[in-house]
Structure 1
Amino acid sequence: MTKPDLKALIRSFNDATQYWVNILNSKEINKVTPSKIEKPLDELLKLIKLIKAHTTKVGIIFKPETLQKQEQTAYNTLESLSESLVFTVSVLSQLNNDKNNSNIYYQEILDQNRLLIESNVDLSTELMHIYEDKTDEGRLVSIGKIWSNCDSIISLLENGALSLLTNKIKLSISLIDDGFDEFSEWAKNPEEVDDTFGFSDEEDDENEDEESLSEEDLNKLIEYSGKWVKKIELVKLLIASFKKSLPKSTTNSQIDDIYDLQKNITILIDKFIVELMLNRCSSKEIDTITNDISKNSITLAKLAESIHNDKKSTWYSTWIIKYD
């Protein structure tokens, strides 16, 4: 190895990692030649563990005082890291072509690997700085980021798609809770105009008297709001049931369907609460939203009913009856 070789390798490492980040950001992973491995997810797990180990060695060998004495070792170590990343991207490309994978699971794998490669771009910049300066000030901040990225991917791969779905569902429930508690209180007395969402302005304040509801309209709104408080509580129970109840036999396509349905329901509930609290009356738009909430929720319950072959299936049948 000649003296400029290590510098050239660092530059090549920077170019390659930046190219892969661009590929992943543009969702053009199909431009990368896919690997042909029998079990790509198992291979990806091995590669990520290998990348973490190589990164640890890079952190040790690229200390300025060590680098000056062991440039050949530094070259070999960085080359090994680079090769592992090449194989990783080719496995990601193979997974992209595998239609049997859960879409949300693959997208999460892709997103987390993009973050990993972005951290390696930062690493390449730091390595060049250390190589050119060779001072005791050299610090590899990105090493810690890469370790964290690797740990997240390892956890994702070891726990699988069902665990990812559970985490997504927990987030959805949290998002529903953010607006639902306030909506439940408001539903008891919607005559109290509370600018929860910051829609009011000075003109609204001046016309506040004109916006007062008649006793008949107020009673209708209280009844309507109360009805939907109960329905949303049932929907929350439905979505929450997926946190623990899904059998391991649940297919990847079913996982994607569950994710899409509960995500749509969460968005629709948020829209419904905002619209009703803002307008304080039903409307064609609100009717459309509530119809979509009901349609998606019943579809989700029926999907769960078909997935289970035990008494849990009866729970979903009962839920549908209660909701209707």
Structure 2
Amino acid sequence: MTKPDLKSLIQSFQDATQYWVNNLNNEDITKLKASKVSKPLDELLKLVKLVKAHTTKVGIIFKPDTLEKQEQPAYNTLEKLSESLVFTTSVVSQLHSEQQISKIFYQEILSQVRLLIESNVELANELMTIYQEKTDEGRLVSVGKIWSNCDSLVTLLENGPLALLTNKIKLSVTLIEDGFDEFSEWAKNPEDMDDAFGFSDEDDEEDAENEEELDEQQLNKLIEFAKKWVKKIELVKLLISSFKKSLPKTTTSSQVDEIYDLQKNLTNLIDKFIVELMLNREETREIELIKNDITKNSIKLAKLAESIHKDDKKSSWYSTWITKYD
């Protein structure tokens, strides 16, 4: 039996990992052959654990002193890692073609698998350096990255789409809270915070001094409107926060995506509303459009939650929320 050409395998590994990185996106993933396993998510979880195990073995055997004596075992170990990655990309391609899981779950899987392959591109380059230069100085930094990538994917796959949705909602609530506290203070007396966003500089000071103050009627009207929307935004924040608690396992993939899209839209709309009102200090046509969109999306989200929880007492909470908001 002839001695395996380890250098040739490393070169193939470099080419393959770069090819996968280039095609692991929504536009090009169909170029990757899709697997046909019955339970792709379970299979992907097994493969990610295998990738981590094989990477560990690669990290152990790819030492200059070891390679000279164990080129055949090194070849076999790298070949197994490469095969595991081939199957991993094939399962992700199957998930894309079948579209049986929620879009946000699939997108997160795709993103994390791409990061995993990018770390393997680094690994391939490091392996070639070790093989050619026979030095392990600063070697295999990528192994730690691959372990981290695998751990993140295992957590994602084991926790599932509802946990992912919960994490994204927590982020949205944080984003709303960032601007809401200041808006609540501003709403008490808008004229005490003329430059709420810190936009003014020395060149703007003269313009700020010449800016007309609101008369008493305008100010009272603005305060009344702002305080009304402080309460409404509090309610919307409460609505979105309610999804941080466990959703029933019967929640479908399409419902997960719809919840995500609605709460994301609401987060953006609330941010726009606050900025527009604090800058313009009056109810403009733009603000009218934004507040209508907030109301429409909020009611839609609450009714969706009402339907998801139709067989338990939490459904009435959403019914009450709609009454209070209106």
TM-score computed with the length of structure 1 as normaliser = 0.97
Q: CA deviation at 1:3?
A: 6.1
Q: Secondary structure at the match of 2:294?
A: helix
For 1:311 and 1:86, the matched residues in 2 are separated by: 47
Q: Which of the residues 273, 297, 321 maps onto 2:323?
A: 321
Q: Which amino acid aligns with 2:80?
A: S
For 1:208 and 1:92, the matched residues in 2 are separated by: 56
TM-score computed with the length of structure 2 as normaliser = 0.96
Residue 149 of structure 2 aligns with which residue?
149
Residue 206 of structure 2 aligns with which residue?
206
Matches within 5 A, 1:19-34: 19-25=19-25, 27-34=27-34
Cα deviation, 1:241-275, whole Å, max 9, x if unaligned, reads 11114111101110000000000000000111111
For 1:115 and 1:123, the matched residues in 2 are separated by: 12
Residue 306 of structure 1 aligns with which residue?
307
Residue 125 of structure 2 aligns with which residue?
125
Query: Given the superposition, is the C-alpha separation of residues 232 and 300 from structure 1 closer, same or farther in structure 2, using an over 3 Å criterion?
Result: same
Q: CA deviation at 1:164?
A: 0.4
Whether contact under 8 Å (1:130, 1:138) holds in the other structure is no
Whether contact under 8 Å (2:25, 2:110) holds in the other structure is no
Q: CA deviation at 1:113?
A: 0.2
Whether contact under 8 Å (1:165, 1:259) holds in the other structure is yes
Cα deviation, 1:81-107, whole Å, max 9, x if unaligned, reads 001000111111100012221010000
Query: Given the superposition, is the C-alpha separation of residues 57 and 240 from structure 1 closer, same or farther in structure 2, using an over 3 Å criterion?
Result: same
Whether contact under 8 Å (1:122, 1:142) holds in the other structure is yes
Residue 222 of structure 2 aligns with which residue?
221
Q: CA deviation at 1:171?
A: 0.5
For 1:274 and 1:66, the matched residues in 2 are separated by: 62
Q: CA deviation at 1:136?
A: 4.1
Residue 266 of structure 1 aligns with which residue?
267
Q: Secondary structure at the match of 1:101?
A: coil
Q: Percent identity?
A: 75
Q: CA deviation at 1:201?
A: 4.0
For 1:129 and 1:299, the matched residues in 2 are separated by: 57
For 1:103 and 1:174, the matched residues in 2 are separated by: 23
Whether contact under 8 Å (1:119, 1:145) holds in the other structure is yes
Query: Given the superposition, is the C-alpha separation of residues 122 and 213 from structure 1 closer, same or farther in structure 2, using an over 3 Å criterion?
Result: same
Q: CA deviation at 1:278?
A: 1.0
Query: Given the superposition, is the C-alpha separation of residues 211 and 268 from structure 1 closer, same or farther in structure 2, using an over 3 Å criterion?
Result: same
Residue 241 of structure 1 aligns with which residue?
242
Residue 279 (structure 2) pairs with residue 278 (structure 1): yes
For 1:226 and 1:98, the matched residues in 2 are separated by: 48
Unaligned runs of at least 5 residues, structure 1: none
Residue 230 of structure 1 aligns with which residue?
231
Residue 101 of structure 1 aligns with which residue?
101
For 1:235 and 1:154, the matched residues in 2 are separated by: 33
For 1:98 and 1:197, the matched residues in 2 are separated by: 47
Greater Cα shift, 112-121 or 129-138:
129-138
For 2:137 and 2:199, the matched residues in 1 are separated by: 53
Q: Secondary structure at the match of 1:191?
A: helix
Q: CA deviation at 1:200?
A: 2.6
Cα deviation, 1:85-144, whole Å, max 9, x if unaligned, reads 001111111000122210100000000000000000010111111111112425110000
Q: CA deviation at 1:213?
A: 1.3
Cα deviation, 1:262-299, whole Å, max 9, x if unaligned, reads 00000000111111111111100011001001100000
Residue 8 of structure 2 aligns with which residue?
8
Q: CA deviation at 1:27?
A: 3.3
Whether contact under 8 Å (2:3, 2:72) holds in the other structure is no
Residue 289 of structure 1 aligns with which residue?
290
Residue 72 of structure 1 aligns with which residue?
72
Q: Which amino acid aligns with 1:176?
A: I
Root mean square deviation, CA, Å: 1.4
Structure 1 consecutive aligned stretches of length 4 or more whose deviation exceeds 4 Å: 1-4
Unaligned runs of at least 5 residues, structure 2: none
Greater Cα shift, 146-155 or 128-137:
128-137
Q: Which amino acid aligns with 1:17?
A: T
Residue 112 of structure 1 aligns with which residue?
112
Q: CA deviation at 1:186?
A: 1.0
Q: Which amino acid aligns with 1:192?
A: D
For 2:218 and 2:232, the matched residues in 1 are separated by: 21
Query: Given the superposition, is the C-alpha separation of residues 204 and 219 from structure 1 closer, same or farther in structure 2, using an over 3 Å criterion?
Result: farther
Cα deviation, 1:212-257, whole Å, max 9, x if unaligned, reads 2111111111111101100000001100111114111101110000
For 1:224 and 1:74, the matched residues in 2 are separated by: 71
Query: Given the superposition, is the C-alpha separation of residues 5 and 197 from structure 1 closer, same or farther in structure 2, using an over 3 Å criterion?
Result: farther
Whether contact under 8 Å (1:276, 1:286) holds in the other structure is yes
